[in-house]
Amino acid sequence: MSQPLRVEASGLSHRLKNDLLELGHSLRKSLDIIMSNKLSGTGFVIIVIFALIGIAYTIFGNHIVPYNPLKINLSDVNAPPSLSHLFGTDQLGRDIFSRIIAAIPIDLGLAVFIVLVSAIIGLFLGTFAGYFRGVVEEVIMRLTDLFFAFPPLVMSMAIAATLGPSLFNAAFSIIFVWWPPYVRLVRGSTLQVSASDFITMSKVLNTKFFKILFKGILPNIMTTLVVYATMDIGTAMLTLSSLGFLGIGIPIYQPELGLMSSILTSNLYTDPLEGLIPALFLFLMVMGFSLMGEGLAEIIDPNIRSHLFSRRRRLEEMNKAKEAKSKATN
């Protein structure tokens, strides 16, 4: 009895090892593709830096910052940048550097959460509308058009003001108006894929909808969705920061880049760094996701992708020729 169990366990460990090796190879290949493009490579580096900062603060909290970002110190108000306060202090004596580090996981995490939930809603409604057509499509798309009739920021402001100041309420107010573009995007992609011969054959063979969805439709529309969602994270971050800048939805004590930048409305000429530095960090994060999305869009384009890989092969061949020439000279 022990011998078969030992053989089965070794077989499972061997398969698990192969799966992990295949996953590692896929990740390396994906990373090479991302870094092969200057836009996506630059955006990826920026995103990774801010993500690591956010993860570190989420895990270790105030242990990685010099001061408590919420502690008020009225004896050190509006201090200029110095060795003790790298970016100075705000009008309540709070360390700006510490507050920026504390705000990064909030802005980044909420923006990713908003886009992720909106994409899931859009994926669900869009695939149903594009696959079933008819009454289902009419109901879903007319509801989507209804949401498009209102400016997203204005509606988010109204919802956030009604619900009161809370990070969850701010995120909910944005999600409430953020999913319609995903429905349109997914529906359009689903219509294209559903017209393919293999989907038509699957319907003729009475294949279940969810099997067609997960094996036929989703693999062919996820790439477009991921590119759009990557660029949309920056837009969601700007919308969240706009609520904070306007003093709506974000608690007044909360370290948030938009809320911190709002001090420019009163201190632009007397103490501009207090608001400009958080705005600069916000700009860098938004730029990172924009560059990443633009780079991925270029990579996904078949014509541009073939050009990138051919250029990369030529560079590799030139480097090999130079190395061979240098060795021959020596």
* DSSP state letters, 242-255: HHHHTTSSS-TTS-
| Contact yes or no for 263/275 (Cβ under 8 A) | yes
Residue pair 244/258 in contact (Cβ under 8 Å)? The answer is yes
- The answer to whether residue 156 sits within a structural domain is yes
Please compute, for residue 78, the number of CA atoms within 13 A of its CA located in the half-sphere on the CB side.
8
Q: DSSP 3-state assignment of 37?
A: coil
Q: Is residue 241 part of a domain?
A: yes
Is 321 a domain residue? no
User: In terms of pLDDT, which residue wins out, 255 or 266?
Assistant: 255
Res. 7 pLDDT band, cuts 50 70 90: very low
Mean pLDDT (whole number) for 110-137: 92
| pLDDT score at 1 | 47
Residue 306 pLDDT: 55
pLDDT value, residue 211: 85
Cβ neighbours of residue 234 closer than 8 Å, sequence gap 6 or more: 111, 285, 286, 287, 288, 289, 290, 293
- Asked if residue 34 has pLDDT above 80, the reply is no
Burial class of residue 255, CB neighbours in 10 A (0-12, 13-18, 19+): buried
Q: What are the pLDDT digits (tens) for 78-114?
A: 888 888 888 989 888 899 999 999 999 999 999 999 9
**pLDDT tens per residue, range 44-65:** 899 999 999 999 999 998 889 9
What's residue 123's pLDDT? 93
Domain count, the chain: 1
Gyration radius of the chain's alpha carbons? 25
The average pLDDT across 159-163 equals 92
Asked if residue 253 belongs to a domain, the reply is: yes
Residue 91 has a pLDDT of 87
Q: Name the DSSP letter for residue 89.
A: B
Question: Domain range spanning residue 123?
Answer: 106-303
Of 127 and 23, the one with more pLDDT: 127
38 inside domain: no
Residue at 219 is within a domain = yes
Residue 115 has pLDDT above 90, yes or no: yes
| 169 is a domain residue | yes
Give the residue, 144 or 326, on which the prediction is more confident: 144
Nearest to residue 90, comparing CAs of 110, 58, 107, 67? 67
Distance CA(158)–CA(161), nearest Å, equals 5
DSSP H helical segments within 149-272, as ranges?
152-163, 167-178, 180-194, 197-204, 209-212, 218-245, 257-261, 264-267
Q: Which amino acid is at 11?
A: G
Residue 60 lies in a domain: no
Is the predicted pLDDT of residue 305 greater than 70, yes or no? Answer: no
Q: Dihedrals φ, ψ of 89, to 5°?
A: -125, 165
Mean pLDDT check: name the lowest of 12-26, 84-98, 167-181, 199-213. Answer: 12-26
Q: pTM here?
A: 0.82
Q: What's the CATH number where 238 sits?
A: 1.10.3720.10
Residues in Cβ contact with 102 at an 8 Å cutoff, skipping those fewer than 6 apart: 57, 62, 65, 69, 255
Rounded to an integer, what distance in angstroms lies between the CA atom of residue 175 and that of residue 114? 6
pLDDT at site 216? 85
Tell me what percent of the residues of the chain surpass a pLDDT of 70: 85
